[in-house]
């Protein structure tokens, strides 16, 4: 008797050496691509939902690429729902300008940001203020991979989504993932591959399956990230808590900079928008205006 081929839907969790590893809900299958998928412009990537024909020994062939919701370039992953942006409260201290650029870049990619302030076990009293400031406008989780504080909240936030762990290196991304995923052994405490060898080695992104459903992507961490190219007029929209005020400014297309009759400047004066946050907005705005002049 000839065995029946089965078509199942799964998610590409890894692409390596010409093979696509597809998680079908039960197992991971090593798949090749059907010829016509090899020669199209739209390449199958990690995070893609695909239909595969299952074969023997956990093998299979990718037959169809299902529509994508989104594509992230760095790391190269499709269908990312959210990013956990990890910064440590200490060792290293958080670079808040960098955090803001991560937040803007994430929102620009239509990915929902969650801020994770890690290493709370090392934090000083004074840093509670940073946490409460961000809580006003973002979803914030405070964790320690050492004491276990906040790990339940982190686990809950990841259920059933594809989540990228972003943030600088050394903040504890891999340690957190090891703490919440039984059996996972991501390398931790490493100096970035690039620094050590002096040359850039290609990293393959991989989806890690969560016990409760959903996937996460660990990243080596970016120590820098440019402010994305936005129209200066659009910037306020990427500052939750500031953008909400802008509909009533006197000038259409107000940059909330030097214009009279600006409702945002008024809100800053009256303490409804925090001064530090507005100054961060101005710093980015000036960068964008500078780029436009060049």
The contact set with ligand GDP (CB under 6 A) reads 118-119, 121-122, 144-146, 169-175, 188-190, 221
- Of 22 and 123, nearer to ligand GDP (C-beta) is 123
The answer to whether residue 262 forms part of the interface with Zn ion (CB under 5 A) is: yes
Choose the one of Mg ion, Zn ion, ligand GDP, none that binds residue 101, judging by a C-beta under 5 to 8 angstroms depending on kind: none
Q: Give min distance, CB of 174 to Mg ion, in A.
A: 3
**β 6-16/49-54 pair status:** antiparallel
- Binder of residue 262, out of Mg ion, Zn ion, ligand GDP, none (CB less than 5 to 8 A by kind): Zn ion
Which residue is closest to ligand GDP by CB? 172
Both tokens of 56, joined, read: 């023997």
Buried b vs exposed e over 171-201: b needs ≥16 C-beta within 10 Å? Answer: bbbbbbbbbbbeeeeeeeeeeeeeeeeeeee
Residue 171 site contact among ligand GDP, Mg ion, Zn ion, none (CB < 5 to 8 Å, cut-off depends on kind) = ligand GDP
* Distance of alpha carbon 12 from alpha carbon 20, whole angstroms: 6
Q: Give 3-state DSSP helix, strand, coil % of the chain, rounded to 5.
A: 30, 25, 45
If the CB atoms of residues 23 and 203 are measured against Mg ion, the closer one turns out to be 203
The answer to whether 68 and 78 are in contact (CB under 8 A) is: yes
Phi-psi region of 111 (alpha: psi -120 to 50; beta: other; left: phi over 0): beta
Cα–Cα distance, 15 to 195 (Å, whole number): 25
CA distances from 125 to 94, 109, 110, 162 (A): 15, 34, 34, 34
Q: Which residue, 217 or 255, is less far from Zn ion as judged by CB?
A: 255
Of 86 and 285, which has the nearer Cβ to ligand GDP? 86
Task: Mark the segment that binds Zn ion (CB under 5 A) among 17-25, 116-124, 176-184, 264-272.
Answer: 264-272
- Which listed residue (105, 174, 205, 246) binds Mg ion by CB under 5 A? 174
Contact partner, 170, from ligand GDP, Zn ion, Mg ion, none, Cβ < 5-8 Å per class: ligand GDP
């Amino acid at each position: 008797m000839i065995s029946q081929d089965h078509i199942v839907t799964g998610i590409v969790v890894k692409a390596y050496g010409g093979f696509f590893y597809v998680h079908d809900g039960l197992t991971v299958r090593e798949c090749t691509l059907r010829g016509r998928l090899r020669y199209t412009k739209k390449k199958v990537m990690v995070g893609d939902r695909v239909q595969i024909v299952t074969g023997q020994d956990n093998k299979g062939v990718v037959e169809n690429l299902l529509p994508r919701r989104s594509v992230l370039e760095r790391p190269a992953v499709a269908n990312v729902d959210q990013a956990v942006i990890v910064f440590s409260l200490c060792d290293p201290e958080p670079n808040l300008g960098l955090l803001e650029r991560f937040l803007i870049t994430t929102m620009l990619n239509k990915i929902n940001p969650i801020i994770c302030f890690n290493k709370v076990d090392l934090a000083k009293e004074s840093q509670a203020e940073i946490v409460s400031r961000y809580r006003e406008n973002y979803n914030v989780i405070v964790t320690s991979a050492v004491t276990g504080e906040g790990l339940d909240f982190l686990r809950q936030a990841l259920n059933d989504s594809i989540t990228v762990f972003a943030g600088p290196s050394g903040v504890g991304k891999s340690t957190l993932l090891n703490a919440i995923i039984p059996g996972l052994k991501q390398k931790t405490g490493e100096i970035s591959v690039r620094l050590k060898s002096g040359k850039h080695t290609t990293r393959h992104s991989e989806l890690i399956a969560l016990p409760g459903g959903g996937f996460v992507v660990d990243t080596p961490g970016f120590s820098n990230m440019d402010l994305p190219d936005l129209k200066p007029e659009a910037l306020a929209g990427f500052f939750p808590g500031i953008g909400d005020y802008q509909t009533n400014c006197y000038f259409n297309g107000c940059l909330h900079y030097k214009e009279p009759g600006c409702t945002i400047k008024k809100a800053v004066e009256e303490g409804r928008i925090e001064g530090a946050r507005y100054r961060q907005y101005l710093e980015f705005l000036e960068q964008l205006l500078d780029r436009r002049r060049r």
